[in-house]
A and B are shown apart, each in its own frame.
Chain A
Amino acid sequence: MGDFIALMIFFLICCIVPIPIYYIIRKRFGELIRGE
């Protein structure tokens, strides 16, 4: 059961990684990404 759950958790991590990446980018580039 361990590897079964591990793969699901790994998939979950891959799907939520964009959240911290987005906040890092927003902090680093701020105005640039929000501008038109």
Chain B
Amino acid sequence: MSIEILSIMISYIVIVLLIGFYAARYVKSSKDYLIAGHRLGLIPLTFTYFATYFSAVSVFGFTGLVYRSGWSGLWLPVFWATGSIMGMFIALKLRRVKLISPHEYFKVRFGLPYGFQVFVGLLTVVALMVSLIVQIKSTGIVWSMALGRAYEEGVFLSMIIILIYVIAGGLYSVAYTDIFQGIMFTVMLIIGGVWALLTTGGIGNLYTMVSRISTPPTPGASPTPSGLLTSAIGTYTFISLLFLWLNWAPGVAAHVRYTQRILAARNIDLSLKMYVIAWPILFIIYTCMAFTALAGRIFIPTMPEGMSVDYIMPLIFGKYFPSIVVGLFYACLLAAAMSTIDSEVQICNSIVFIDMLRYLKLSERGMLAVARILAVVIVIICTLITLYPLPIIIEFSAYCWGILGVLYFAPMMIGLYWRRVNKWGVISGVFGGLIVFAVWQMLWGTRIYGIQPFGVGVLVSILLTIIISAVTKPPPEECLKMYFSSR
């Protein structure tokens, strides 16, 4: 275990805790705790958006994808960026009403019964918890890779730190710690990209060297076709790209992680500006990561035996950088993971709190205490499931993103702009989309022309929402005035 790496990791943890406690002074009520009192300013808002967006799983996954499949891996962030453009249009309307949790939208906009809100909330929490488990696992992996210590130790430690600052300051602490965490991983990932271009002699040389590679990415895998790594289309076809877009863009547009940030903004203007500022930074980060992964393929044409392509970034940093930079890199991975975990815990917290509120007759102090206790319960459950995973949860993880996209995209994107969308359209869209998505995933997965099951589910939910709304009675006026008044 390197002392430099350990000191950097500990310094990172101390700074995060200090920022978390500093931000906690803004929390005076349960609304402050859960949604930052709808008062988040531009800097914390933008950083919490893009730090939440960016997880350790995406660092591992995206660089692994580019290492294995080449430059065409850039299509994924392209799709996410187009999803965020749609997200701006959701922000423009959604922030008109000060909801505490995004799932309240179903009751407010469509007049759906409380039971449906609880159903959506429950599915959202389950989907988020499964996604949380994957993120929590990554903290254990980073900890054991950085310091050679037990995986469980990393999981426990990171969850205790998150719990401390989330309990202290709720969304305020999450947002303010995200400023530090966001700056940290942006700088480190840019360093990786600059190193890649400097050591290979620029984009032209990088391109020439990568285009000649034909070795397999991992021992025993098929050799890489020459030129594949520099092709913009790679192994995709038009139809697979279309369904891949449907798989990712709607999920990004209406994901509760981001709609919660929209609701936390001080006004609509700031909720739009967070997209404007975050995406050019994300462009730099993703291209830098892609350059690093391609340079990694030049210097390490095949991953060492037993190591997945997802570990290319840690491998490069460990091999070519001094230990201080390696320590900062691991701290950056921990930051990327923790900034996503704390947000997802906070959303689960808001959803469960809102659904329980109906049965609670408490003072403001009592509600704040309940919100904090819920955070503890959620973190304990997620940590236990991470350490003792049930096989069904691993299977379910493939469904998470799809469930959230089917639940929220059509009701928000269409329901915020077309007055005609009513509760019957939403109910049939949600159930129809979920059923088609689940059946397609179970029966065919991606085996039919590379079509993504989630893309099919979203398409079905969009069509059903439109068709059923058009053929049934228009929604009552009281459901429309909140989002369609010309104030």
Chain B residues, Cβ within 8 Å of A6: 232
Chain B residues, Cβ within 8 Å of A7: 71-72, 74-75, 78, 232
The answer on a CB contact under 8 Å between B204 and A1 is: yes
B138 proximal to A (CB < 8 A) = no
Interface string of A1-19 (1 = CB under 8 A from B): 1011111101110111111
Chain B residues, Cβ within 8 Å of A12: 283
Chain A residues, Cβ within 8 Å of B230: 1, 4
Q: How many residues of B contact A (CB 8 A)?
A: 34
Given contact pairs A11-B287, A14-B82, A36 touches B267 in the complex (Cβ within 8 A):
yes
Q: How many residues of A contact B (CB 8 A)?
A: 26
Chain B residues, Cβ within 8 Å of A26: 269, 272
CB < 8 Å: which of A14, A19, A33 contacts B276? A19
Interface-located stretch among B84-92, B142-150, B404-412:
B84-92
CB < 8 Å: which of B74, B78, B272, B280 contacts A33? B272
The answer on a CB contact under 8 Å between B279 and A16 is: yes
Within 8 A of A (CB), among B120-140: none
A27 proximal to B (CB < 8 A) = no
B431 proximal to A (CB < 8 A) = no
B319 proximal to A (CB < 8 A) = no
The answer on a CB contact under 8 Å between A22 and B280 is: no
Within 8 A of A (CB), among B71-116: 71-72, 74-75, 77-78, 81-82, 84-85, 88, 92
The answer on a CB contact under 8 Å between A11 and B77 is: yes
Told that A3-B232, A29-B92, A36-B267 touch, could you supply 17 new A-B pairs with CB distance under 8 A?
A1-B207, A3-B233, A7-B72, A10-B78, A11-B283, A14-B85, A16-B283, A18-B88, A18-B276, A22-B88, A25-B272, A26-B272, A29-B268, A33-B267, A33-B268, A33-B272, A35-B268
Listed in ascending order, the chain B residues whose CB lies under 8 Å from chain A are 71-72, 74-75, 77-78, 81-82, 84-85, 88, 92, 203-204, 207, 230-233, 266-269, 272-273, 275-276, 279-280, 282-283, 286-287, 487
Q: Which 4 A-B pairs have the closest CB atoms?
A: A3-B232, A14-B81, A15-B283, A33-B268
**What are 28 A-B residue pairs whose CB atoms fall within 8 Å in the complex?**
A1-B230, A4-B207, A4-B230, A5-B203, A7-B232, A11-B77, A11-B286, A14-B85, A15-B279, A15-B280, A15-B282, A15-B283, A17-B85, A18-B84, A18-B85, A18-B276, A21-B88, A22-B88, A22-B276, A25-B88, A26-B269, A26-B272, A32-B487, A33-B92, A33-B267, A33-B269, A34-B268, A35-B267
